[in-house]
Structure 1
Amino acid sequence: MKNNLLSWINKNRDPNIAPNLKRLFAFIIDYFIGSIFVSFIPMILVSIITQEKVITVNLMKTIPFDMQLICCIVSIVLAVYYYCIIPLNPTHLGQTLGKRIMKIKVVKMNGSNITLTDILKREILGAMLIEGETTFPSAYFRNILYQFMPAFLSQALGWLSIIISIISIVVGYLGINHRMIHDFIADTKVIKA
């Protein structure tokens, strides 16, 4: 039984899959760079409106709703640019800055290059909306969304997002090809570049 399992694992393991540690470091790099990139303009707007020098996402709740909406839209547009448009650049296809530094990239499961549809499914639907806790821009989106919900529902969705993110990390870590939930949604994998 043990030999059959090892044989199956070895047969189904893709030798080009990026190691977990490289994915982790790419994520950390992208989280910090992406957070700064996505937050810069919204935080300046919040600072101008509130006259505060220390800005948090929670401070955004104190500004008028129309300005919150503008900040959310700007943040999402910048996130789409960083996480979706940059990886479609032919010179570093499938790579954000973090993935480029770590020499890994996103491809379709069949090994072909990703398309705009693939990357939108992976990053916007999978990482930002379903997992939620793995990308910073989702905080802006949730901030707006939660204003239209009762507090108990927004808290429940917040916890659900955390749980889904944890499950995705565990699935990615333990899975044969280290695919996370957003990879399954978009039918992608992360490989060595």
Structure 2
Amino acid sequence: MKELILKLKFDKPNNVGFFRRFISYMIDWYIGGILTSLPIILTYTAMNNGNIGIIEQNINIFEYPLNIIIGLASFMVAALYYVYVPMFINNGQTLGKKIMKLRIVNNDYTQASKKQLFIRQFVIILLLEGSLYTSSNMLHQVINEVTGANIVSIYNTIGIVITVFSALLVIMFKSRRALHDIIINTRVVTENSPELSVA
């Protein structure tokens, strides 16, 4: 841990402030939440002759096995947004990052690889840190339904602790690198960063 703190302390400073990243996060959180809801809303509406009303983001409004299918579909739609968009469409940017003129790059300011983006966005953010994302909530509900065990509260607690720790790293160190950036050797920079060498 001491080694990590020393590494972060002497890491190259970053011109991206916490609030800019936070606004980007909130935009992505909102868009991801809407996309996650689509399979639930469309299925529920189709099954109820177009009568919507207020629909819970809970897969248990459907019978088994449809609830599992809808939960996985919801997670996958959101995963496409969080993973596919920065990997194949916007070169290291979700829509939130694009709006805020931010980009995910290697720590040396070169273009992040597709492998890095996949591990960062899917494995670390959605699966490990994802407790605050609606899409991860869908996955948690599927896990609960399939296993019958309430392991989600433990999973959520661990995810929240990791997320808070990650946010603290962004706030405390001038490199503004979150835990997922440190693990996969990336950073979030402004599009006009002078060090940036991404095509």
Interval of TM-score (by shorter of Structure 1 and Structure 2):
0.7 to 0.9
1:73 counterpart residue number: 72
- Which whole-Å CA distance do the structure 1 matches of 2:141 and 2:110 have between them? 36
Cα displacement (A) at 1:62: 3.2
Task: Determine helix, strand or coil for the equivalent of 1:182.
Answer: helix
Measured against aligned partners, the alpha-carbon deviations of 1:81-130 in whole angstroms (never above 9, x if no partner) come to 2112211346x311111111111110011222122211111111111111
1:185 counterpart residue number: 183
Cα displacement (A) at 1:170: 1.4
Retained in 1: the 8 A contact 2:13–2:175?
yes
Larger helix share, 1 or 2: 1
Unaligned runs of 5+ in 2: 1-7, 192-199
- Which whole-Å CA distance do the structure 1 matches of 2:26 and 2:33 have between them? 10
- Which whole-Å CA distance do the structure 1 matches of 2:45 and 2:82 have between them? 25
Q: In terms of mean alpha carbon deviation, does 96-105 or 46-55 score higher?
A: 46-55
CA gap 1:49/1:171 in 2 versus in 1, 3 angstroms: farther
Paired residue for 1:107, among 105, 108, 117?
Answer: 105
How many residues end up aligned between the 2 structures? Answer: 181
Instruction: Provide the identity percentage.
Output: 22
Retained in 2: the 8 A contact 1:132–1:161?
yes
Paired residue for 2:28, among 27, 30, 40?
Answer: 30
Corresponding position: 1:125 with 2:119: no
Measured against aligned partners, the alpha-carbon deviations of 1:34-63 in whole angstroms (never above 9, x if no partner) come to 2112321232213444665211223x2131
- Which whole-Å CA distance do the structure 2 matches of 1:179 and 1:80 have between them? 22
